[in-house]
Amino acid sequence: MKKVYVDLHLRPNLKDLGGTAQMMREASRLGYRLIAVVVPPDSAYEDVERLRSICREAGVDLVSRVDLKPRTPGELIHNLRRLRRRFEVIAVLCESKSVARQAARDRRVDLLNFPLVDYRGRFFDKAEAELASNGLASFEIDVKPLFALEGQARIRLLANLRRETGIAGDFRVPLVISSGVSEEVLMRRPKELAALAFLFDLDECCAFEAVSENPLAIVRRNREKLGSGFVAPGIRVVRRGRDCE
């Protein structure tokens, strides 16, 4: 079966609809079929549908994503309660240990993202991985910093990623590799993203799962939950009212 490649983290300037459309066309040309675009939490339904139409015309399937950057665990819980039913993917940008721990244990969180490249600002350790292994969150790696950093900063980031992906593997936390880019010039083919994963010691199978099966599983799971017939995992409403007679 042909792989479906997914980039769960594109950040175009949504005020520039022409530029956004061009990025979506480029994503299609590069071989992606599902694209998650970060939209503001307060986006109107009409704005998301307009973006969905742009993606459809470009030949890619839009996944609506929101990036949460809470300062406290309480703020995270409040935002999840408010936004979970509105977006297909919810990522938490973890910039403190307390937020990272809460995000890992909360089953409403899809992606744990650690935007700080310095090891002192990264909190994906064994305790974090154990919490995530009992929930539904995947560990997301953006490749954009690998393009932007040089010298010792890039070396330190790669060392962190080798350690973190090893921990994720030990605790069976799914990995998702995304671009995290906001400019067309930085976009890369799915196989190129997978190839970059070799730099932090992922084998070929795990690298390709991280740009295909793993992100696809998140989208499918959440689309089922957001469907009108969803009751609980494995339980759906098939017929209603007089149809049941």
Is pLDDT at 176 greater than 60 in this prediction? yes
User: What pLDDT digit, counting tens, does each position of 179-235 carry?
Assistant: 999 999 999 999 999 999 999 999 999 999 999 999 999 999 999 999 755 444 455
Tens-place pLDDT, residues 8-50: 999 999 999 999 999 999 999 999 999 999 999 999 999 999 9
pLDDT at 81 over 60: yes
Decide if pLDDT at 112 tops 90. Answer: yes
The 3-class SS string of the chain reads CCCCEEEEEECCCCCCHHHHHHHHHHHHHHCEEEEEEECCCCCCHHHHHHHHHHHHHHCCEEEEEEEECCCCHHHHHHHHHHHCCCCCEEEEECCCHHHHHHHHHCCCCCEEECCCCCHHHCCCCHHHHHHHHCCCCEEEEECHHHHHCCHHHHHHHHHHHHHHHHHHHHCCCCEEEECCECCHHHCCCHHHHHHHHHHHCCCHHHHHHCCCHHHHHHHHHHHHHHCCCEEECCEECCCCHHHHC
Domain ranges of the chain: 5-244
- Residues 119-137 have a mean pLDDT of 89
Is residue 1's pLDDT more than 80? no
Fold that domain 5-244 belongs to in CATH: TIM Barrel (3.20.20)
